[in-house]
Amino acid sequence: MDNKLLIKTFEPRKENMLNILHVLQNNNPQNFLTSDDIKLVANYLNITYSSVYGVAKYYTMFSLKPRGKYVIRVCKSPMCHMIGNKEILQEIENSLEIKPGETSPDKLFSVEETECLGRCAKSPVLMINDKTFTALDKEKIKNILQTIRFDEQNIK
Amino acid sequence: MISEKRIALKNAGKYNPENINNYLSTGGYKNVKKAYKLNPSEIIDLLIDSKLRGRGGAGFPTGLKEKFTNESVCNRCIQKYIVCNADEGEPGTFKDRVIMEQDPHVLIEGMLIAAYAIGATKGFIYIRGEYTDSIKIVRNALEQAYQNGLLGKNIFESGFDLDLEIKLGAGSYLCGEELTLLESLEGKRGYPRIKPPFPAEKGLFGMPTLINNVETFAHIPYIIEYGAEHYKSIGTANTPGTKIFTISGDVNKPGYYETALGVTLRQLIRDLAGGVKNNKKIKAVLIGGAAGTFVDESVMETPIGFDTLKEKGAVLGSGAIMVMSEERSLFDMLHSILEFFKHESCGKCVPCRIGTSQLLLIMSDSKKTVSERKTILEKLLYEAEYMAKSSLCPLGQSPIIPIRSINQFFNDQF
């Protein structure tokens, strides 16, 4: 759906800003908020560009620069850290040849580090877009990435 | 051997959380109906009498919070609000997620009863953005509650109205602090507010607001059903009732377990979590999350409650229990915690913004000899102490908690 129509599903009140930003970001194939999106929200809520920008910039789930189709968020909280998230992150870095904060050249993947995802009984964990993957090891994450790549090639 | 005692998780796993009819056929919402036959003040008295304490970490008496919000009046107060704090971000904690995913209706019931007691007709459930499953399930539960007339106008023909709405967080631990959560709910950056005024007086949009944790709300229907005397017969004198403990780390059966308070760490780890993995010894247990305390053997037999742990220099917090076996490194774990605080500091107050970086800098200097590590610990204590004294909100006041506990329990093993 077009963003201009999408935003109308919300009442034009400032307290809806976070919900609106989530929806706009999810509607972007590259999982980020464009400056047009920020302008659209500012106009719709009748507030300044900077007050929308300030909010979008503050919250770590929002990105103001293009990301991959799949955003991988690796939990680095104390429990995942203790059980071994380093190994998982290493495997992702090797496989995709990118570091946290970067996007792969084919624009398919972005990698980020995130704080506790609340799945500590099944550490280490990560999220890919809105799906959570738990009790990971090297093999598992390899398979997950391969499956995504395979699906993407089939789409093409 | 101890076993589980379930209050907040009483219905969890017993019905399909996506189908309200399934829940209604087993007596769902009957406690709301029962509560709406009482006067609001009777409900508040019942909650005060039950001695229910907030399960989010601070342990403030829930009944009193409701009383203050109920009595809060001012000329411009045209609306009272009820807010559920479902921004669960404390490392090692996932109790609220389990409640929302398995029994979303107990949360709605708890909010319906509390809203009626304080006279709030509008409410929000603030769920962290990463909890995509919880968001989906609670959203669906709200829709179905509306369809069945359990939300909206004239609920159970009591003349009472309540509208509930979901608001999403977007990756800020600090927004789990109640005043910061209200800022975020208003569509602003998650910066803490100065306290007082407390939310009961001046909360969301400056109006009287009751804000409780998911687990706290989940206890209210039970108290309505069985009464205060019965509730007080469970748990300890100062902290009655049950608590969900989320146990992770080096145990055979990590997971969530709800038991009566007064249980010991030893019982939780041995009887419920299946003991330590590979029969190793325990080096430390981190209880309460990142803003929690590392404890040793000397706390293993203490009956758990907010006050009993405090007397020992430990905290109950959110009920997160992270077990570290003998081969784990306290230094490494503390480093990870301090990285967490640095990442989550909002930057509003200088002592916290610079302090959290400073603490990490001190630790980056990780020399191996014991005496050198002792100097590091002393420096950490010094820095964290003045951060705690000069920061506005609980985040800047938190790093001292795990650091002090290491100094108290593991001074020579750090």
Number of domains forming the structure of chain B: 3
Q: Which residues of B touch A117 (CB under 8 A)?
A: 130
Pairing state of beta strands B81-86 and A109-114?
unpaired
Task: List the single best residue of B131, B248, B363 to mutate versus A (max A Cβ within 10 A).
Answer: B248
Q: Which structure tokens are listed for B176? A: 């789990």
Span A54-59, mean pLDDT? 97
- ipTM at complex level: 0.96
Query: What whole-number distance in Å separates Cα of residue B370 and Cα of residue A91?
Result: 34
Query: What whole-number distance in Å separates Cα of residue B159 and Cα of residue B35?
Result: 13
Span B189-200, mean pLDDT? 95
CB contact A81 to B (< 8 Å): yes
Q: Which residues of A touch B337 (CB under 8 A)?
A: 78
CB contact A118 to B (< 8 Å): yes
Closest chain A residue to the Cα of B128, Cα to Cα:
A117
Q: Whole domain around residue A146: which residue ranges?
A: 70-155
Which of residues B232, B255, B272 is at a domain's end? B232
Query: What whole-number distance in Å separates Cα of residue A155 and Cα of residue A21?
Result: 28
Q: What is the pLDDT of residue B370?
A: 74
Q: Are B94 and A119 in contact (CB under 8 A)?
A: yes
Span B148-176, mean pLDDT? 97
Q: Is residue B363 part of a domain?
A: yes
Q: Is residue A42 part of a domain?
A: yes
Under an 8 A CB cutoff, do B130 and A118 touch?
yes
Under an 8 A CB cutoff, do A76 and B249 touch?
no
Task: List the single best residue of B128, B130, B294 to mutate versus A (max A Cβ within 10 A).
Answer: B130
Q: What is the pLDDT of residue B414?
A: 81
Q: Are residues A103 and A74 both part of a single domain?
A: yes
Residue reference for tokens 């420096």 = B379
Under an 8 A CB cutoff, do A15 and B340 touch?
no
Under an 8 A CB cutoff, do A130 and B132 touch?
yes
Under an 8 A CB cutoff, do A17 and B189 touch?
no
Q: Are residues A43 and A113 both part of a single domain?
A: no
B120 contacts: CB under 8 Å, gap ≥ 6: B69, B79, B80, B81, B82, B114, B162, B209, B210
Query: Cα dihedral angle (B278, B280, B282, B287), rounded to 10 degrees?
Result: -10
The pLDDT-based confidence of A155 (bands split at 50, 70, 90) is confident
Q: Is residue A21 part of a domain?
A: yes
Arithmetic mean of pLDDT over chain A: 96
The per-residue pLDDT for range B357-379, each reduced to its tens digit, is 999 999 987 666 777 888 899 99
The per-residue pLDDT for range B68-82, each reduced to its tens digit, is 999 998 777 889 999
Which of residues B290, B325, B360 is at a domain's end? B325
Gap from A144 CA to chain B (nearest CA, Å): 19
CB contact B88 to A (< 8 Å): yes
CB contact A23 to B (< 8 Å): no
Q: Is residue B274 part of a domain?
A: yes
Higher pLDDT, A105 or B373: A105
The per-residue pLDDT for range B82-136, each reduced to its tens digit, is 999 999 999 999 999 999 999 999 999 999 999 999 999 999 999 999 999 999 9
Any idea what the CATH number is for the domain that residue B84 is in?
Answer: 3.40.50.11540
Q: Are B312 and B298 in contact (CB under 8 A)?
A: yes
Q: Are residues A104 and A151 both part of a single domain?
A: yes
Q: Is residue A121 part of a domain?
A: yes
Q: What is the pLDDT of residue B367?
A: 65
Q: Which residues of B touch A19 (CB under 8 A)?
A: 167-168
Q: Are residues B399 and B321 both part of a single domain?
A: no
Span B261-268, mean pLDDT? 97
The per-residue pLDDT for range A2-17, each reduced to its tens digit, is 999 999 999 999 999 9
Burial letters for A41-53: b for 16+ Cβ neighbours within 10 Å, e otherwise?
bbebbebeeebbb
Span B389-414, mean pLDDT? 94
Is the Cα dihedral A151, A132, B135, B99 positive or negative? positive
The per-residue pLDDT for range B298-353, each reduced to its tens digit, is 999 999 999 999 999 999 999 999 999 999 999 999 999 999 999 999 999 999 99
Residue among B388, B379, B386 nearest B406 (CA): B379
Q: Which residues of B touch A126 (CB under 8 A)?
A: none
Q: Are residues B199 and B162 both part of a single domain?
A: yes
Interface of B with A in 251-310 (CB under 8 A): 254-256, 286, 290
Residue reference for tokens 């325990």 = B282
Q: Which residues of A touch B169 (CB under 8 A)?
A: 18, 59
Q: Is residue A23 part of a domain?
A: yes
Residue among B69, B94, B61 nearest B232 (CA): B61
Q: Is the pTM of this model over 0.90?
A: yes
Alpha-carbon radius of gyration of chain B: 21
Which segments within B199-295 are labelled E, that is strand?
209-213, 242-249, 255-260, 282-287, 293-295
Q: Smallest Cβ distance to B93: which of A18, A114, A118?
A: A118
Q: What is the pLDDT of residue B374?
A: 84
Q: Are residues A37 and A93 both part of a single domain?
A: no
Q: Are residues B182 and B102 both part of a single domain?
A: yes
Exposure on the CB side of residue B323, measured as CA atoms within 13 A = 29
Any idea what the CATH number is for the domain that residue A76 is in?
Answer: 3.40.30.10
Number of domains forming the structure of chain A: 2
Under an 8 A CB cutoff, do B167 and A15 touch?
yes
Q: Are B304 and B257 in contact (CB under 8 A)?
A: no
The per-residue pLDDT for range B7-61, each reduced to its tens digit, is 999 999 999 999 999 999 989 999 999 999 999 999 999 999 999 999 998 999 9
Q: What is the pLDDT of residue B366?
A: 66
Q: Are residues B45 and B140 both part of a single domain?
A: yes
Under an 8 A CB cutoff, do B190 and A14 touch?
no
Which segments within B226-317 are labelled E, that is strand?
242-249, 255-260, 282-287, 293-295
The three-state secondary structure class of B91 is: coil
Any idea what the CATH number is for the domain that residue B285 is in?
Answer: 3.10.20.600
Query: What whole-number distance in Å separates Cα of residue B63 and Cα of residue B294?
Result: 31
Q: Whole domain around residue B304: which residue ranges?
A: 242-325
Cα distances (Å, whole numbers) of residue A131 to A5, B82, B255: 26, 30, 20
Is the Cα dihedral B62, B165, A18, B288 positive or negative? positive
Closest chain A residue to the Cα of B204, Cα to Cα:
A15
Q: Are residues B71 and B159 both part of a single domain?
A: yes
Q: Are residues A120 and A75 both part of a single domain?
A: yes
Residue B346 CA, distance from chain mean position: 20
Query: What whole-number distance in Å separates Cα of residue B321 and Cα of residue B264?
Result: 12
Percent of chain B at pLDDT > 70 equals: 99
Q: Smallest Cβ distance to A78: which of B89, B190, B340?
A: B340
Beta bridge partners of B259: B243
Residue B243, phi then psi, degrees to nearest 5: -145, 140
Gap from A59 CA to chain B (nearest CA, Å): 5
Q: Does A119 score more than 70 pLDDT?
A: yes
CB contact B163 to A (< 8 Å): no
Q: Which residues of B touch A18 (CB under 8 A)?
A: 129, 167-170, 184, 187
Q: Are residues B226 and B265 both part of a single domain?
A: no
Q: Is residue A64 part of a domain?
A: no
Q: Are residues B292 and B378 both part of a single domain?
A: no
Gap from A143 CA to chain B (nearest CA, Å): 23
Query: Cα dihedral angle (A57, A63, A64, A67), rounded to 10 degrees?
Result: 170
The pLDDT-based confidence of B185 (bands split at 50, 70, 90) is very high
Q: Smallest Cβ distance to A77: which of B324, B328, B340?
A: B340
